[in-house]
Structure 1
Amino acid sequence: MPLPLLLTLVIGGITMVVILLHLLGYSKRLHLESEAIIRREWARHFPEDQVNAAHLSADTLSALVETDHGPGLLWVMGADSTAHRAEDVTVTERDDGLTIDLHDFAAPGLTVRLPADARALWRQKLTEHA
């Protein structure tokens, strides 16, 4: 098979798969819109944990989760979520929320948009177990 024809078929096939996935809704960004979604997503990452409470960020892209193993953070990465136990974190206040450094090379720092009253609660929950 000539190389130009092969490249056309491969590029066309990949393009069609991307378009099909987008049209079927698989490219939608996840939003943590309810406590049920937060509990479901946390259970995917830590099935042995008992979730006691969940506090949602203003943009519905992250949540502070209180569990029987201590606090944790759940945040959106595209159409999926990731979770991290908040065992050793540094919390820095910003004008629009908090920056949370997880001190883990495998997990990035997290910037969470929060109103002023929620910032104090998040800071307290995250630092009381540190």
Structure 2
Amino acid sequence: MPLEILLGLVVGGIAGITLLLHLTGRSRLRLLTPETAQIQWLRHFPDDTVIDVTVAHDGHAALVRTETGAGLLWSFGADTVARHLLDFDRIDHPDGFEVQFHDFSTPRVLIHLDETECRHWQHLMEPA
């Protein structure tokens, strides 16, 4: 098979899969509620005991407090990512704040919050 035809098939296949995923809704961000955030947190960290869950107004992030400390859960497409807040920097951003983890697997995340939420989350993220 000529390389040009093979290249066209590969590019067309990838574009088709991307379009199919988008049309079926698989590219939308997961919306979190306190219940789904707790379920997702326990999926990532099954040994944790969840004390409290605070979900952002946009439903794409949650601050989870556990017996071992606070953690952050956020939407990443149709899935979620969760990290304990152990070694991080919180940087103010016009849309909320940015959390920079000192971890190469998850370098940073932008959490969209309004002004009231920012103050509340900042208070909850402070170590006890």
* TM-score (normalised: structure 2): 0.80
CA RMSD of aligned residues (A): 2.2
Could you tell me how far apart the structure 1 residues matched to 2:53 and 2:3 are? 55
Q: Which residue of 2 aligns with 1:70?
A: 69
Is 1:21 paired with 2:24? no
Structure of larger gyration radius:
1
Partner of residue 112, structure 2: 113
Query: Structure 2: which 5+ residue stretches go unaligned?
Result: none
| CA distance in structure 2 between the partners assigned to 1:27 and 1:78 by the alignment | 6
By how many angstroms is 1:38 displaced?
0.6
Mapped contact 1:89–1:101 kept (Cα < 8 A): yes
Partner SS, residue 58 of structure 1: coil
Q: CA deviation at 1:95?
A: 4.9
Q: 2:69–2:127: 8 Å Cα contact kept in structure 1?
A: no
Which of 15-24 and 48-57 deviates more?
15-24
Look up the match of 2:126: 127
| Worse-superposed segment, 93-102 or 72-81 | 93-102
Give the equivalent residue in structure 2 for 1:57: 56
Q: Answer whether contact 1:73 1:86 (CA < 8 A) is retained.
A: yes
- Find the counterpart in structure 2 of residue 9 from structure 1: 9
Contact 1:97 1:119 in 2 (8 A): yes
Question: Is the 8 Å Cα contact of residues 54 and 66 (structure 1) preserved in structure 2?
Answer: yes
Q: Runs of 5+ in structure 1 lacking a partner?
A: none
8 Å Cα contact 1:89/1:102 also seen in 2: yes
Describe the SS at the equivalent of 1:107. coil
Distance in 1, Cα, partners of 2:8 & 2:98:
46
How far apart are 1:96 and its partner, in Å? 4.4
Report percent identity of matched pairs: 37
Q: Cα–Cα, structure 1 residues 18 and 53, in superposed 2: closer, same or farther, change >3 Å?
A: same
Contact 2:29/2:78, CA 8 A, preserved across alignment: yes
TM-score where L is the length of structure 1 = 0.79
Deviations 1:63-110 (A, max 9, x none): 110112211001122222111101233334445433333332332233
